[in-house]
Amino acid sequence: MTSSEWREIKLRDGRTLAYAEHGSPNGLPIIHCHGTPSSRVEGDLTFSDTVAAELGVRIIVPDRPGMGRSDFQRGRRIVDWPNDVLELASALGLDTFAVLGSSGGAPYAAACAVLMPTRIRVVGLIGGVAPLDAPGLTAAMSAPLRIMVRLARFAPPVLRGLFRLNLRAMRGGGQRGGDRMAASFPEPDRSLLQRPEIRDGFMACFQESCRQGPRGPVWDVGLMARPWGFDLGAITIPVLLWQGERDGNVPLAHGRYLASAIPTCRATFYPHEAHLSLPLNHQREILMGLRGEPVREKLT
């Protein structure tokens, strides 16, 4: 399934939830919580259908409310997401499954671990954001990201306007705009973003997140910036964490915090990987871990 292919279900409250699939239709199910601001098309960038099918996994990537083709949900909280996941799993006939959260999707994957532990075999976190109300974690982020989360929480109309400007810049920037964007990333992400298919796929995640306008993605960023509404220490199911030490989007301090705060976490840190390079270069290892096959020992 590609970005042009998607399906949808109707939830009990009447909202539409859209999703895409990758890998084997009959494989071991993994529900992927995309980053923010992002959308289901993140799966096109992150996962190879060939690798996923070879490993016998079925990766399901739903759009969160207000992003992509999923309806906006007024008053949404992070802890509401597990209900949508349960309805999606029921519609697809899934009994148990793995949940994977990347970047800004980590809070949603962690919420699933806390609130629906009997349905989830294992949770995976790739370059995951940690609670921003924890000491030092907001300060550890880059200045542009600190501004984004502050605006989302305290001045969402301003951030919605900035997202609209960013959309226009992406659509009209051409090669020069792509080069400027790539230059803002550390290596090895900078080199990856010089490849047209990676750069275009990365920009498509944001563009699709704003399909209905910026209200949904800005709300999503705002939720990430507020208290999440649950305790990471209450997680009882296995959690696998992968973090690039060169990550310029989600700093190493976030991975260290999650690894220490989640009692069942088994973490792997990669000294030479960043935000994009980690899932692209270690997809097979990540999917094998979620299948329950041996993973690397914890590195510190």
Model confidence pLDDT, tens digit, residues 4-55: 689 999 999 999 999 999 999 999 999 999 999 999 999 999 999 999 999 9
What does the alpha-carbon distance between residue 228 and residue 108 come to, in Å, rounded to a whole number? Answer: 9
What does the alpha-carbon distance between residue 224 and residue 265 come to, in Å, rounded to a whole number? Answer: 21
Is pLDDT at 3 greater than 80 in this prediction?
A: no
- CB-count exposure of residue 158 (10 Å: 0-12, 13-18, 19+): middle
Helix or strand (DSSP H, E) at 188: none
What does the alpha-carbon distance between residue 71 and residue 84 come to, in Å, rounded to a whole number? Answer: 12
Write down the pTM of the prediction: 0.95
| Token output for 250 | 């989600």
What does the alpha-carbon distance between residue 114 and residue 196 come to, in Å, rounded to a whole number? Answer: 39
Residue 216, classed as helix, strand or coil, is: helix
Instruction: State how far the alpha carbon of 225 is from the alpha carbons of 37, 42, 138, 150, in Å.
Output: 13, 21, 9, 7
Instruction: State how far the alpha carbon of 280 is from the alpha carbons of 6, 134, 192, in Å.
Output: 22, 29, 9
Paired strand residues for 33: 101
Output the pLDDT for position 297. 42
The residue among 105, 114, 68 whose CA lies nearest residue 230 is 114
151 touches 217 (CB < 8 A): no
- CB-count exposure of residue 239 (10 Å: 0-12, 13-18, 19+): buried
What does the alpha-carbon distance between residue 129 and residue 148 come to, in Å, rounded to a whole number? Answer: 14
Any idea of the CA torsion for 168, 174, 180, 184, to the nearest 10 degrees?
70
Task: Read off the pLDDT of residues 222-278 as tens digits, 9 standing for 90 and up.
Answer: 999 999 999 999 999 999 999 999 999 999 999 999 999 999 999 999 999 999 999
Is pLDDT at 205 greater than 60 in this prediction?
A: yes
Q: Rg for the chain (alpha carbons), in Å?
A: 18
Paired strand residues for 265: 239
Query: From the CB of residue 83, how many other CB atoms can be counted at a distance below 10 Å?
Result: 14
What does the alpha-carbon distance between residue 247 and residue 39 come to, in Å, rounded to a whole number? Answer: 20
Q: How confident is the model at residue 296 (pLDDT cuts 50, 70, 90)?
A: very low
What does the alpha-carbon distance between residue 59 and residue 286 come to, in Å, rounded to a whole number? Answer: 12
Pairing mode of beta strands 7-10, 16-23 = antiparallel
Task: Read off the pLDDT of residues 38-97 as tens digits, 9 standing for 90 and up.
Answer: 999 999 999 999 999 999 999 999 999 999 999 999 999 999 999 999 999 999 999 999
Residue 159's Cα: distance from chain center in Å? Answer: 20
Q: Give the side-chain half-sphere CA count within 13 A for 265.
A: 25
Q: How confident is the model at residue 298 (pLDDT cuts 50, 70, 90)?
A: very low
- For the chain, the average pLDDT equals 94
